[in-house]
Amino acid sequence: MFEGVHTALVTPFNRDGSVDYGAYRALIDDQVAAGVDGIVPCGTTGESPTLDFDEHEKVVATAIEAAAGRVKVIAGTGANSTAEAVELTRAAQQAGADGTLQVTPYYNKPSQAGLEAHFRTVADIGLPVMLYNVPGRTSREIAVETIVKLADHPHIVAVKEAGGSVDRVSAIRRQSDITVLSGDDTLTLPMMAVGASGVVSVASNLIPAEVTALVREAREGRWGEARARHLRLHELFETLLSLDSNPVPVKTALAIVGKVEDVFRLPMVGLDPALRPRLETVMRAAGVTW
């Protein structure tokens, strides 16, 4: 149910640091117009660690209201406390979310048994769950064996693979029929070649139509076209995830094209001004205009 392109939305802030809900709705309208399959509010790209509980719930509710059933909304409601993840997920369910993105609990480094119990507890709420494997941020990998076990839960339906490994996608798909989505724009095409069904994309904040076309070409078996598009966009994909910590590059890019303010919440700060020309050069090479 979560195949295709799902944009990991940024959270726009006003100059005073408050959430800019007007800009947020406009971003969602842009995503719908570009043909994405879904949006993911309050993930890593949405600076969710800097949102308080009330803001988190309002951002999710606003995304659901703005999407108005035109695209799926997969709410980022994970936490390193199972009780907090349950609370946020229940709120998203009541607001009308189509699913929940559940990040690996971070910092406390639970065992695989702990991870399994955590995800099953959240899934028991009844909202479709997309697991989120991102060991670079959580210091704990969801083992392939654990994913295979979790796939037997009726509400655990997908996994976002952001561990940088195409081999993991092969291993997961070999042992289960759970939907796999790339969590890294640079790996979308190679992961789809071995069985992934799309991407939870950072770059699609900026170029939603391009990412949508890439995934559509791959899903339709038009591999030559998909490869040509991937190679044309690869430097932008790479730059948005390497120039600084996500979401600093992509949010800066959106500010450059006039979609959001260049505002972050501590401990995130703006892009080093010395790096901005590099970002602009790569954006222009990928066909982004402003």
107 catalytic per annotation: no
- Angle CA 137–43–25, to nearest 5: 155
149 catalytic per annotation: no
- C-alpha distances (whole Å) from 168 to each of 79, 129, 149, 174, 267 are 24, 19, 15, 10, 32
Q: What is the residue-wise DSSP string for the chain?
A: ---EEEEE----B-TTSSB-HHHHHHHHHHHHHHT-SEEETTSTTTTGGGS-HHHHHHHHHHHHHHHTTSSEEEEE---SSHHHHHHHHHHHHHHT-SEEEEEPPPSS---HHHHHHHHHHHHTTSS-EEEEE-HHHHS----HHHHHHHTTSTTEEEEEE-SS-HHHHHHHHHH---EEEESSGGGHHHHHHTT--EEEESGGGT-HHHHHHHHHHHHTT-HHHHHHHHHHHHHHHHHHHHSSSTTHHHHHHHHHTTSS-S---TT--PPPGGGHHHHHHHHHHTT---
Of 144, 134, 82, nearest to 104 by C-alpha is 134
Distance CA 155, CA 247 (A): 29
From the list 132, 149, 251, 259, the catalytic residue is 132
From the list 72, 149, 160, 251, the catalytic residue is 160
**Annotated catalytic sites, by residue?**
132, 160
